[in-house]
Structures are given as structure tokens and as C-alpha cells.
Amino acid sequence: MIAITNSIWLYRLYDVAEEIQLHLVEQILAESKPTARLRLSRIRPKSIHIPNPPVTMELGEEELDLLNERYPVKFTAKIYDLGVISIIMRLILGSPCAYEKIRDLAVYLSDTEELEDLFAKKRDEVRNALAQTLIRPGYRGFMEDYLIFYFRQWNPEWDPVPLLLGEDEPVSRQVRRDTLQHTFTYGEDDMTIITWSSALVYDQTGSYDIPDLLEFALTQLLELRYYDSVLSEEMAKMYDAIEVAEAVTRFKRLRQYRQIMNKLMELVVEINEITERIRNSLKVTEDVFYARIYGAALAIFRTRAWMESIQQKSSVIMQNYSFLSNRLVNQQSMLLELAIVLLFVLEILLTLPSFFR
């Protein structure tokens, strides 16, 4: 086993299905791979609410050659019921490890694409093993990547900014201030700094709570991005379908209107249900420190903006539903009026023979 001290965690989160049945995941993996349900170690169970905690799956240990040096790595996957597979590669640093070496790795890892095939291989390994647990499977290229520098030993003289930015060039005071503005400390032996693309977590105790919270926030970001894209595609299809319906005869138009309206209503109901699940996938209720960190991560990742985009698009879809509903009612009213006129004319025609006798 690898003894983990200081390490660099590389994340790749993939949306692979609409939903993953975690109880089946546990059953399938029970005899082949070590698994566990996520549980934060330094927070009381009543202080956090996770309706369906993800399943952690060990993927083994390997060695990688990076910057002319060989590093041990440990692979782990987390399976989320939202349809997300998260692959984590923990790059184990030597102890002691010079700051310059960590900085050079940060610069390399923030820019390289050489590891993507390895992550994709691990993703496919997990996806194939759990194929029967996936509901509406399919990978459409939606992925989030993130980098966490995890330290159990931290030198106060080290500069976190080059690590977080992945740059070894000097930066301005404003850039430094912006990079460090989301810094959190609870005691004297911990520190967390969160940015858009990376974070630094220093915790002497070795707790993984904060990386787990950040991963949850990344999962929410990925899902919101994915369903925002789904809505955009469905809106384009909706406008095309309405344009086609406008070009056909009146009787066919009514049928096509009904089909479009049924599909729109099903889509809105489905999206509302999914976004509610995303919003409620994790809630920190009583722990103020963890609530601050989790709330900051959601803000930095701009999950609210994505949620508002989804709500706006759902609103547009409902407006189009109302428009089609009014058009349908008007068309039906016109047909009803026409039928009444025809019946009236028919009645007159039927009474004409008796009138001329």
C-alpha cells in the first residue's frame, strides 16, 4: 500500500448516464473491488444531509513517469446516482519534497493533455463494469477537470499562488489577491484555498472532507452544464417542429401541436425533477465552517448562473407551451364554429323540400 502524505489530486468527472443505481453498484462490486459509501469524517451526521451518498471504488495503484521522475499514483472512482463517474488520480509526492519540484509539477499538470487517455481508460473500465446499473447510458463528452494540492505537511514559506495558477512567472498584486481571496482556516494546522480550476488543502489530520465537498460541488456543476445543453438542443428542436407544423394543413397542424405540447411538458417535468435532485444532492446544515467552504465552491463554480440559465430556458419552453395551447384552442374554436355553421346550413337544406311543397 502507498503511504499517502503530500499529494496532488487530479479529477476527471464524466456524465455517463441519466442515473446510476447505487444499490446495484454495491452488489456488483461486493466480491471484486473494495467499495464504501462516502461519509465525512470530521462532521456530525446531523450536520450534513446526503440522500444517496456516492460509492467509492478502488482502482489500484500504478507508477507514472512525469518530468523525468517516477511517481506512485493511486486511482479511485466515485459513482454518483446523478449519473456521474468521478476518476481521481492521487499523485504521491516524496517526503520531503522540494517546493520547486511541486511547482514544476503544478505547471506541467495544469497544461498537459497526456493523461487524458489514461483517465478515459479508467472511466471506460468503471462504466463497463457497471453497465447494468446505468439508466439511459451515454457519454456525450461532458466532463469537468480539477486539481487539488493536498498537504499534510506545509511550509509557511511556500507560495501557494504558482501552484494554484499553474504558472511560475511573477504575477501582479491584483492577481495574487484574487487568487487568495477564498482562503479558509479553522485552526492553526489547516488551510483551504479555492479557485476556479484548482484548490489547495492543508490538513495535518489527513481528513478528506474538504476534497469530498469540492468534488460534490463539481458534480453539481457538471450536471447543470449538461442539462443546460440538453435544454438548448430541445429548444432548437421545438422551434423546428413548430415551423414544420405551421407549413401543413390545419387538421394535421392540430395533431402536431398536441405532440409538441406533450413533449414540452414531459421535458419541463423531467428537468425540474432532475434539477431538484441536483440541488438537494448535498446540504450542509449545522457545520458553519464546512457550509462556508461548500457555499464558496458553488459560488466560484458559478452553479447559480447555470441554474438560472436552466430556469430561464424552462420558462421560455413554458411560454411556447402556452402559445401553442392558445393556438390550439383558437383552431379548435374556429373548427367548432365552422361545424356549427355547416350544421345550420345542412338543417336549412334539409327543410327546403318541405318548404316548396
The verdict on 136 and 179 lying in the same domain is yes
Within a domain: residue 228? yes
What Rg do the C-alpha atoms of the chain give, in angstroms?
28
The verdict on 125 and 89 lying in the same domain is yes
Within a domain: residue 109? yes
Within a domain: residue 148? yes
Q: What DSSP character marks residue 133?
A: G
Which of 181, 207, 233 is at the close of a domain? 207
Task: Give residues with Cβ within 8 angstroms of 294, minimum separation 6.
Answer: 213, 216, 217, 282, 284
Within a domain: residue 119? yes
Whole-angstrom distance between the N-terminal and C-terminal Cα of the chain? 110
Average pLDDT, the chain: 86
d(CA 79, CA 25) in angstroms, rounded, equals: 8
Work out the number of other CB atoms within 10 angstroms of the CB of residue 296. Answer: 18
For the segment 86-122, what is each residue's pLDDT rounded down to a tens digit? Answer: 999 999 997 778 999 999 999 999 989 999 999 999 9
Distances (CA, A) of 314 to 244, 266, 347: 22, 11, 49
Q: By the 8 A CB rule, do 176 and 163 touch?
A: no
Within a domain: residue 2? no
For the segment 232-248, what is each residue's pLDDT rounded down to a tens digit? Answer: 888 888 888 777 777 76
The verdict on 23 and 58 lying in the same domain is yes
For the segment 213-237, what is each residue's pLDDT rounded down to a tens digit? Answer: 999 999 999 999 999 998 888 888 8
SS3 at position 73: strand
The verdict on 344 and 220 lying in the same domain is yes
Task: Identify whether 53 is preceded by a cis peptide bond (ω within 30 of 0).
Answer: no
Which of 207, 233, 268 is at the close of a domain? 207
The verdict on 277 and 332 lying in the same domain is yes
Which of 185, 207, 229 is at the close of a domain? 207
Mean pLDDT of 290-304: 93
- Say whether pLDDT at 183 is over 90: yes
Within a domain: residue 253? yes
Q: What is the pLDDT of residue 45?
A: 62
Within a domain: residue 156? yes
Beta strands in 188-328 (DSSP E): 190-194, 198-203, 283-284
Mean pLDDT of 37-43: 70
Mean pLDDT of 28-56: 77
- Please give the share of the chain, as a percent, with pLDDT higher than 90: 54
Distances (CA, A) of 197 to 33, 110, 194: 31, 9, 8
Residue 37 belongs to domain spanning: 7-207
For the segment 272-293, what is each residue's pLDDT rounded down to a tens digit? Answer: 888 888 888 888 777 888 889 9
The verdict on 203 and 141 lying in the same domain is yes
Within a domain: residue 1? no
Q: Report which of residues 3 and 149 the model is more confident about.
A: 149
The verdict on 44 and 66 lying in the same domain is yes
The verdict on 47 and 170 lying in the same domain is yes
The verdict on 286 and 186 lying in the same domain is no
Point out which residues pair with 64 in neighbouring strands.
Answer: 71
d(CA 84, CA 80) in angstroms, rounded, equals: 5
For the segment 124-174, what is each residue's pLDDT rounded down to a tens digit? Answer: 999 999 999 999 998 888 899 999 999 999 999 999 999 999 998 989 999
The set of cell numbers assigned to 256 is 402536431
pTM of the model: 0.85
Q: What is the pLDDT of residue 216?
A: 93
Q: What is the number of domains present in the chain?
A: 2
Task: Categorize the per-residue pLDDT at 55 as very low, low, confident or very high, splitting at 50, 70 and 90.
Answer: very high
The verdict on 120 and 20 lying in the same domain is yes
The verdict on 195 and 245 lying in the same domain is no
d(CA 293, CA 302) in angstroms, rounded, equals: 14
The verdict on 175 and 222 lying in the same domain is no
